[in-house]
Structure 1
Amino acid sequence: MRKVVVVDGTSMKGKYGGCLLSACAQDGNFQIFPLAFAVVDNENDNAWEWFFQKLSTFVTDCPQLVFISDRHASIYTGMRKVYKEAHHAACVVHLWRNIQVLYKMPRLGNLMSAAARAFTITEFNRVFIQIQRINPACASYLVDIGFTHWTRAHFKGRRYNIMDSNIAESWNAAIKEAREYPLIMMLEYIRTTVMGWLALRRAKANNEQGTLTPNVRKLVEENYDLSTAMAVRDISELEFQVQDPTGECFTVSLALGSCSCREYDEIGIPCPHALAAASKVWFPSDSLVASAYRIQNWREGFAGKIYPVPSVGGSQVGSSTTTELLPPAVRRPSGRPRKVRIKSRGEFKKSGQSSSNRRCARCGRTGHNRASCRNPI
């Protein structure tokens, strides 16, 4: 698979609280592939360092590896200690939410998203200049974060098409119901869910015909339709100048798998310019696609199987030695369990209604809350 891992943490809703950490990737068909999950007491430095140490036993550290997460300080601390060669990128969606809350201008968030997703530095500079003109404070905020951390054009690694942590967010949503269960029931729910996913996708991959995964094949077909309106001129044997309908020219090297638009280089799927050049010399388009998107590699991703845990449902857990397992000594907070997701460090909260406009839950009048209500009902 592509060496991009999305990590995230989400709170558990059971009696004893806790936090569920997860690491997910994408298979060659752009579907969620859970790599690891763990239950910890809280999202702190020790928990994330321990999680990364366990993850490193099969996701080894290397310069080609990329992690994407929100800007939680403990994730940064744990990664610096365990993954010293891998690159770390910030989730663009979390950054977009912060800008919406801080500056209350939807256009600024959209411009930031466009700048982050730009493939070339020239395209990034064009968008970022607009941000500077509209709000210099927002531009300064983004500069302080570091262009190499949130933009694709300046990033030192290769994050392909994964610009946010939506993979992990979707995974958390899929197991939302299980987070209210007792611990062992929750883990069994997760195990059976992943087991079912892998079985279905294994069958789909084995039945698929052709050389490319279904979703990638659709993208290649869409790009090919766009390539038919482009003019191609030879530079050398496998190098071409490609001119799009707007008049802009790009340089394509089929031998290097590269295009000056940088889309082909970053994602590994041929852009319309590369497909236009390939059509001129009858070069097979499937051979231009990166190996991670091929059917054979897609099938190999599901070669492993998940089996039931033998002790689940039995009268004995673990070894033959009788051990009394007690729940953690915690005090359940008063009130109803929290249902709304807790914001991460570095993720700002939207300001709610002011106390002068908020209605009292007891009497329905404004200007106070239920605790300070003195109005007769």
Structure 2
Amino acid sequence: MWFLSELHNLLEINAENMPRLSILSDRQKSIVDGVDANFPTAFHGFCMHHLSDSFAKEFNNTMLVNLLWEASHALTVIEFEAKILEIEDISQEAAYWIRSIPPRLWATAYFEGNRFGQLTANVVESLNSWILEASGLPIVQMMEYIRRQLMTWFNERRELSMQWNTVLVPSAERHVSDAIERARNFQVLRANEAEFEVISHEGTHIVDIRIRSCFCRGWQLHGLPCAHAVAALLYCGQNNVHRFTESFFTVATYRKTYSQTIHPVPDKSLWNELPQESQDGVSNALEIVLNPPKSLRLTGRPRKKRVRAEDNGRSKRVVHCSLCNQTGHFRTTCSAPQ
């Protein structure tokens, strides 16, 4: 709650209008409460990595997990429902488990915000993986560890981006190049200056280049023109399809992201101490106000297992004993005479 309230204050100060954010997390209960309190208009979705892990623990079946991921990537409701039916054909219980979680929280076809193809919080997991080494250090050493790592990353990414001579970052450039290659085999029919009917082996799709939309929904949801959109753009002479991508996929935006320098810090022995109070009792030091998180002192060992939102409100699976046919236990723990 404290962290998200500080983030809210920071964004509100530095933006004329608070953007309507899309937030991805493992939806641990305290995060859900914090988002609801500080970003009530935000679209808060599940990280698919955490959701699929929970699903895999419940149903140890690789095929089911793969179908879950395919359902999450589906761009249309029809494609999504088709994947859920495939899961249901294998396991009705697994399908019931998935349907108990509102698809607007995790499925691309139903998610109401803009994720641009991002379904996981893997960037956070990668940060956590190296920060664990610093987490046990005293606070100053921990902050220095983090600062040095970020200083190095910012510099490496600035230098890397200077080697790029394309309009888009490499991943987006590959997406567009692949779309151009696929579009060569499509048939395009023009309805007016903006609307096109694009025919391929996948079927027929309607493209409107004026509002940057395609019936496959790839252009709208990913921010990059799909192959159907590219076919329409090339047909009407718009050969520079890069202009029809979202600006944050450009190399210029990437370079701007890492343009600021995280400066080196001298050894602690060289740090200046705050000036002491003068003889008249007046301090010359700047007043520093620290606002630590408000918390309650809890007794006992803190809980290690986090309560995730997907577990809240879900009815527990009823187990049956094959020996006495009663519920609530298995044959191995049954007390009935055998």
SS in 2 for 1:305: coil
Question: Contact 1:90/1:149 (CA < 8 Å) preserved in 2?
Answer: yes
Bigger fraction of residues in strand? 1
Match of 1:188 in 2: 144
Match of 2:118 in 1: 162
The separation in 1 between residues aligned to 2:192 and 2:270, in whole angstroms, is 73
The alpha-carbon deviation at position 316 of structure 1 amounts to: 5.7
Q: Return closer, same or farther for 1:57/1:305 CA change in 2, 3 Å cut-off.
A: farther
TM-score by length of 1: 0.69
**Cα RMSD, aligned residues only:** 2.6
Please list the CA deviations of residues 103-138 of structure 1 after superposition, one character each: whole Å capped at 9, or x if unmatched: 222222221111111111111111112223332332
SS in 2 for 1:181: coil
Match of 2:9 in 1: 57
Match of 1:271 in 2: 226
Q: Which moved more, 1:196-205 or 1:285-294?
A: 196-205
Query: Any gaps of 5 or more consecutive residues in structure 1?
Result: 1-48, 323-341, 349-377
The alpha-carbon deviation at position 219 of structure 1 amounts to: 1.7
**Which AA in structure 2 matches 1:120?**
T
SS in 2 for 1:74: helix
Please list the CA deviations of residues 198-219 of structure 1 after superposition, one character each: whole Å capped at 9, or x if unmatched: 1222233345334222221122
Match of 2:198 in 1: 242
The separation in 2 between residues aligned to 1:210 and 1:165, in whole angstroms, is 27
The separation in 1 between residues aligned to 2:273 and 2:92, in whole angstroms, is 60
Query: Any gaps of 5 or more consecutive residues in structure 2?
Result: 278-303, 312-338
TM-score by length of 2: 0.76
The separation in 1 between residues aligned to 2:214 and 2:170, in whole angstroms, is 24
The alpha-carbon deviation at position 174 of structure 1 amounts to: 3.3
Please list the CA deviations of residues 220-255 of structure 1 after superposition, one character each: whole Å capped at 9, or x if unmatched: 112211211211111211211112234x11111111
Match of 2:50 in 1: 94
**Which AA in structure 1 matches 2:237?**
W
Match of 1:145 in 2: 101
**Which AA in structure 1 matches 2:8?**
S
The separation in 2 between residues aligned to 1:198 and 1:269, in whole angstroms, is 26
The separation in 2 between residues aligned to 1:244 and 1:182, in whole angstroms, is 61
Q: Percent identity?
A: 28
State which structure, 1 or 2, has the greater radius of gyration over its C-alpha atoms: 2
How many pairs align? Answer: 282
Match of 1:67 in 2: 23
Higher relative contact order (CA 8 A, sep 6+): 1
Match of 1:291 in 2: 247
1:328-347 matched pairs, under 5 angstroms: 344-346=306-308
**Which AA in structure 2 matches 1:183?**
I
Question: Contact 2:168/2:250 (CA < 8 Å) preserved in 1?
Answer: yes
SS in 2 for 1:174: helix
SS in 1 for 2:148: helix
SS in 2 for 1:314: helix
SS in 2 for 1:251: strand
SS in 2 for 1:199: helix
Please list the CA deviations of residues 163-206 of structure 1 after superposition, one character each: whole Å capped at 9, or x if unmatched: 01111111112334333433322211110111111122223334
